[in-house]
Amino acid sequence: MRIEELKNALKELTLEELLDLRAFVTELIEKRATGAQNKVRVYFPTILLGDRRKARSGTYIKVVRAVDLTKTNGYALLGDFLPTNREIDLPDGAIVVVASGVGSWKHPETAYFVLRVKDGAEWECQYTKARATVKNVELLGEFTQTTFLSMRDFVHKTLTGAER
């Protein structure tokens, strides 16, 4: 397929399809530029999710590949959910968002932690009842439910290289 034909075909894709395609192309370029992508082993304990009943929204851990700036909730973060209490190999430099239920019964809150996978780094989460330490990730930012849009924009800038 020639470049002009490809450009015309791209015009027919939806925004979500284009964002998925951009994430794929970005990942492909990075892999080709650096050879094989280095993988780093990370273990996310379930305690990081906090108490789901105390969250204003769902709790999750997600590796983010792209951001849909047209959405104002968790669906803006495009990527894969990660399992807890199990080791997983992630690409070095991958961006991970942890949404954790914190606060009290009277004042529930969701805390968001933006992490970067980095071999040898260590992050100690102090927001959950029991402290949790995660190896091979570094903390880039902490946000709350009320600053979700700032977190979304921060992740977008980080993924596109504006914050690196």
Least confident span in 10-14, 50-54, 64-68, 104-108: 50-54
pTM to 2 decimal places: 0.74
pLDDT at 17 over 70: yes
pLDDT of residue 2: 77
- Domain membership of residue 55 (yes or no) is yes
- Domain membership of residue 140 (yes or no) is yes
What is the number of domains present in the chain?
Answer: 1
**3-class DSSP state for residue 107?**
coil
Distance CA 42, CA 94 (A): 11
Mean pLDDT of 49-73: 85
Q: How far is CA 37 from the centre of its chain?
A: 18
- Domain membership of residue 88 (yes or no) is yes
Q: How far is CA 15 from the centre of its chain?
A: 19
Q: Give the residue numbers spanning the domain of 99.
A: 36-159
- Domain membership of residue 31 (yes or no) is no
Burial class (CB in 10 A: 0-12, 13-18, 19+), 65: buried
Average pLDDT over the chain, rounded to whole?
A: 86
**Helix (H) or strand (E) run with residue 100 in it:** strand 95-103
- Domain membership of residue 152 (yes or no) is yes
DSSP assignment of 147-160 equals GHHHHHHHHHHHHT
Q: To 5 degrees, how large is the angle CA 130–CA 139–CA 15? A: 115
Q: What is the pLDDT of residues 99-134, one digit of tens each?
A: 988 877 788 888 899 999 999 999 988 765 667 889
Distance CA 118, CA 41 (A): 10
- Domain membership of residue 129 (yes or no) is yes
